[in-house]
Structure 1
């Protein structure tokens, strides 16, 4: 297991056994049938779902059922970014295995990272790891505690760092044809 809890969620998702998950298989079949029926209503000549649409539906269904089953929070965009950079380190199988040639490099990198992390931990105060469990997030919010991994932005506005407006004030459409003097002086009824 890695030191990053979110990466553990990604690895679990990558290696999840979708074939034996009957609830997912039934749900996916229903989603694909409904989507195809909607496409046929729009254009009767359509017989299959385009491959990009089908893949997107499958990915969204996997994400939904995974989050529902495990209680983890998974953002597909973030997962795809992680998979693009790290997914090739892991072989999709029942067990998580790293490629042998990558394993040696990864061990060396881990040792270097551990040394750097130890130095950083001494310098900074220790923070709680980010949680991907929805229920834990709700409890933290309800208790008014800060959520780890989210930057705190103070409520104060720094007024001394502002700048004065330098552009001339725009004229409104109904003011464009008025003479300059008429704008400055109030109207009087002296007729």
Structure 2
């Protein structure tokens, strides 16, 4: 641990969100408000889209962590650090953000989500991390960016005349 910012990232990564009741209450209010806002725009909406929900959870965690500890945390910088170092410093290795999301939802949101949205597997977060970091995704064929010049066609149409050439 060479710098103090890394120590903050490690503390944030291993923070006990389940026992932080102020965060739990605040997150429920945020998710309720966001869902109500979505319902005002479109009454057919039953749940918050997973990416929006994850962003709300991440922002809420950052806000509550920073206000509770007086540390400064940039989420973008933290996410980059986590891609490289997260596994090395995580105390509970296979706890995913989706688990945190399910535990912090109000009960009516949890019931609605179980009937409509299938839960993401733990592989989803791994896939996102691979894509964001630019690493190859297993099972995806790598197609080289090459142009085959011997199979190219020759244009047979005459070039259109410009208005001033008529």
- TM-score of the superposed pair, with normalisation by structure 2: 0.54
Instruction: For 1:5 and 1:27, locate their aligned partners in 2 and report how far apart those are by CA, in whole Å.
Output: 28
Instruction: For 1:90 and 1:73, locate their aligned partners in 2 and report how far apart those are by CA, in whole Å.
Output: 19
Say yes or no: does 1:75 pair with 2:74.
yes
Instruction: For 2:30 and 2:90, locate their aligned partners in 1 and report how far apart those are by CA, in whole Å.
Output: 28
CA contact (8 A) 2:10 2:90 kept: no
Larger Cα-atom Rg: 1
- TM-score of the superposed pair, with normalisation by structure 1: 0.47
CA contact (8 A) 2:39 2:45 kept: yes
Instruction: For 1:42 and 1:92, locate their aligned partners in 2 and report how far apart those are by CA, in whole Å.
Output: 41
User: 1:132-188 CA distances to partner (integer Å, 9 max, x unpaired)?
Assistant: xxxxxxxxxxxxxxxxxxxxxxxxxxxxxxxxxxxxxxxxxxxxxxxxxxxxxxxxx
Q: Look up the match of 2:29.
A: 30
Instruction: For 1:13 and 1:92, locate their aligned partners in 2 and report how far apart those are by CA, in whole Å.
Output: 11
CA contact (8 A) 2:8 2:71 kept: yes
Q: Which runs of 4+ in 1 moved over 6 A?
A: none
- Cα offset, 1:91, TM superposition: 2.6
- Cα offset, 1:90, TM superposition: 1.8
- Cα offset, 1:47, TM superposition: 0.4
Instruction: For 1:75 and 1:30, locate their aligned partners in 2 and report how far apart those are by CA, in whole Å.
Output: 23
What does 1:33-182 correspond to in 2, within 5 Å?
A: 33-93=32-92
Q: Which consecutive unaligned segments of at least 5 residues does structure 1 have?
A: 94-191
User: 1:32-60 CA distances to partner (integer Å, 9 max, x unpaired)?
Assistant: 00000000000000000000000000000
Q: Look up the match of 1:7.
A: 6
